[in-house]
Chains A and B, each alone.
Chain A
């Protein structure tokens, strides 16, 4: 692994970001909509119920962004290379898959951090919700777990793209949102129907948001240690899958195809 090749790729993502406003836009646009939507909804619910739903919803939106950004960015940046048929030049150059993926992960963290700071300020300005009042240890481990879990999903999506090509690109946009209802971001685990609870319990994300609720309201079944271990297992499995898919792509000629 060579650091200068990773910085070369980072330079490329930087150029993509400054040349294409929409890529810059989506680190702010969708999260802002989310904050507005959930902020207003919880303000309304607060009027008619006892529960202080605001901090839960906003905390959820702001933390979820780490899963979203890290998971989707990997897939979208690789799709970008597919669309512009760029993998031909990239994978015939000295760039290794690990360098390629690592550069995207770093860029994803940068993007997520920008979103995070912006949203935290927005939530504070609009609803006087200060995310920094949450315990620092919880914040650090929650962010770490959510980032890693997002990466694991990114590896899975990328693996699928390498295997099946662009035709499954809809997966890139949707997987994160398929996971969300089962992650209990905005409601407690107990609110899920019985059939969905076992699925939710497997997901590390559920445990992060359950822990968030236990900090805010004193109840929740989150287990951060389980979440961390499960995330690492997910990561191990999906990175193996990604590696296999990469080899598969090299056998099928995916990187040198004209379509």
Chain B
């Protein structure tokens, strides 16, 4: 069962006589119960895609199926089962947190409104702020209020577009845990965008990488990591390692940095054998105190993809 099926989605905007292609023939699917990440540089087309799915934007071309149905034909069915949240669109300023949530709970036809609101406020540590107006909240508190709205109808499909921007590390961690727990409990489907790679790594089963409106790859985080074969090796030496730099360069390796007693160089795990390199260095009289091999993080992968073309 697939909760999101997108085929051949295209969207361009006209702005001051110029046409900007925001989404260019995008196709992907997200299976039920999956957390699917959307990565890409600023302006890659992530939010545009999400806004089309949310029903805020009409696409130029392409089809969308949500919760197994056509959202245009089965509006009621689809809309009641999904929700969106983003840090960039807070709830109504003039209403208090509770008033806002009450309005949305009623819009989504939630059964036990007050119990649901109390639960969400507790989950997102907003209970004390419930009767405060949204325009008096800090930006992180506003973001949490918008997150509460995202969960108000126990959505089967949740679109989260940079929903953790501005949260402090503690509450951000809790938010990720809540998202995860909620997902486990309800087996809902989540489409998730974020520029914080550790979040994506922690939460997402699969990720799509977008570039100039196109999806260039879809894979699991582990699969993506395997594609970056350059690993960093950091050596800590007993004495100054400047002499070693030339040696490494002779071996055809890239030295990235070297200061005092440390030396960082790059190896390609597909062609170089770290073990052999280090043994060779030891033979040359290297007095090694510590060695640390840094595997690529999702940050490295992001940079790898983002800079590929440039």
A interface, CB within 8 angstroms of B: 2, 4-5, 7-9, 11-12, 15-16, 19-20, 80-81, 83-86, 88-89, 91-96, 247, 250-253, 255-256, 258
Are A4 and B56 in contact (CB-based, < 8 A)?
no
Chain A hits for B133, CB < 8 A: 19
Are A85 and B89 in contact (CB-based, < 8 A)?
yes
How far is A88 from B150 in the complex, measured between Cα atoms in Å?
12
| A7 and chain B: residue at smallest CB distance | B106
Distance in angstroms from B98 CB to nearest chain A CB is 10
Is B75 an interface position by the 8 A CB rule? yes
Distance in angstroms from A93 CB to nearest chain B CB is 5
Chain B hits for A4, CB < 8 A: 106, 109
Distance in angstroms from B210 CB to nearest chain A CB is 17
Are A251 and B94 in contact (CB-based, < 8 A)?
no
How far is A2 from B55 in the complex, measured between Cα atoms in Å?
18
Give which listed residue, B84, B88, B96, contacts A92 with CB less than 8 A: B84
Are B56 and A92 in contact (CB-based, < 8 A)?
yes
Chain A hits for B103, CB < 8 A: 8-9, 11-12, 15
Are A8 and B99 in contact (CB-based, < 8 A)?
no
Is B47 an interface position by the 8 A CB rule? yes
How far is A138 from B170 in the complex, measured between Cα atoms in Å?
66
Is B58 an interface position by the 8 A CB rule? yes
Are A9 and B55 in contact (CB-based, < 8 A)?
no
Interface size class of B (residues with CB under 8 A): 35 or more
How far is A9 from B47 in the complex, measured between Cα atoms in Å?
27
Are A11 and B58 in contact (CB-based, < 8 A)?
no
Chain A hits for B94, CB < 8 A: 15-16, 19-20, 80, 84
Is B10 an interface position by the 8 A CB rule? no
Report B83-133 residues with CB < 8 Å from chain A CB: 83-84, 86, 88-96, 99, 102-104, 106-109, 133
Chain A hits for B55, CB < 8 A: 91-92
Chain B hits for A251, CB < 8 A: 57-58
- For the complex of A and B, the 8 pairs showing the least CB-CB separation, nearest first, are A8-B106, A94-B79, A88-B89, A92-B54, A256-B51, A250-B58, A84-B93, A8-B107
Interface mask (B246-280 → A, CB under 8 Å = 1, otherwise 0): 00000000000000000000000000000000000
Give which listed residue, A12, A20, A81, A255, contacts B56 with CB less than 8 A: A255
A–B Cβ pairs within 8 angstroms, 30 of them? A4-B109, A11-B102, A12-B99, A15-B96, A15-B103, A16-B92, A16-B95, A20-B94, A80-B94, A84-B94, A85-B89, A86-B92, A88-B89, A91-B56, A92-B54, A92-B84, A93-B104, A94-B80, A94-B107, A94-B108, A96-B75, A250-B56, A250-B57, A253-B13, A253-B48, A255-B56, A256-B51, A256-B56, A256-B89, A258-B88
Is B76 an interface position by the 8 A CB rule? yes
How far is A183 from B79 in the complex, measured between Cα atoms in Å?
44
How far is A22 from B13 in the complex, measured between Cα atoms in Å?
38
Chain A hits for B80, CB < 8 A: 94
Are A84 and B58 in contact (CB-based, < 8 A)?
no
Chain B hits for A80, CB < 8 A: 94
How far is A117 from B102 in the complex, measured between Cα atoms in Å?
31
Chain A hits for B109, CB < 8 A: 2, 4-5
Is B230 an interface position by the 8 A CB rule? no
Are B95 and A15 in contact (CB-based, < 8 A)?
yes
Chain B hits for A91, CB < 8 A: 55-56
Is B144 an interface position by the 8 A CB rule? no
Are B57 and A256 in contact (CB-based, < 8 A)?
yes
Chain A hits for B48, CB < 8 A: 253
Given contacts A16-B94, A19-B94, A250-B57, 7 further A-B contacts (CB under 8 A): A2-B76, A2-B109, A4-B106, A5-B107, A89-B149, A93-B107, A247-B58
Are A95 and B95 in contact (CB-based, < 8 A)?
no
Distance in angstroms from A126 CB to nearest chain B CB is 34
Chain B hits for A86, CB < 8 A: 89, 91-92
Chain A hits for B107, CB < 8 A: 5, 8-9, 93-95
Report B146-161 residues with CB < 8 Å from chain A CB: 146, 149
How far is A252 from B57 in the complex, measured between Cα atoms in Å?
7
Chain A hits for B76, CB < 8 A: 2, 94
Chain B hits for A96, CB < 8 A: 75
- Given the known inter-chain contacts A93-B104, A94-B76, A256-B57, please indicate yes or no for A19 contacting B51, CB distance below 8 A: no
Chain B hits for A85, CB < 8 A: 89-90
How far is A5 from B103 in the complex, measured between Cα atoms in Å?
9
Distance in angstroms from A22 CB to nearest chain B CB is 10
How far is A160 from B231 in the complex, measured between Cα atoms in Å?
57
- Given the known inter-chain contacts A16-B95, A85-B89, please indicate yes or no for A93 contacting B57, CB distance below 8 A: no
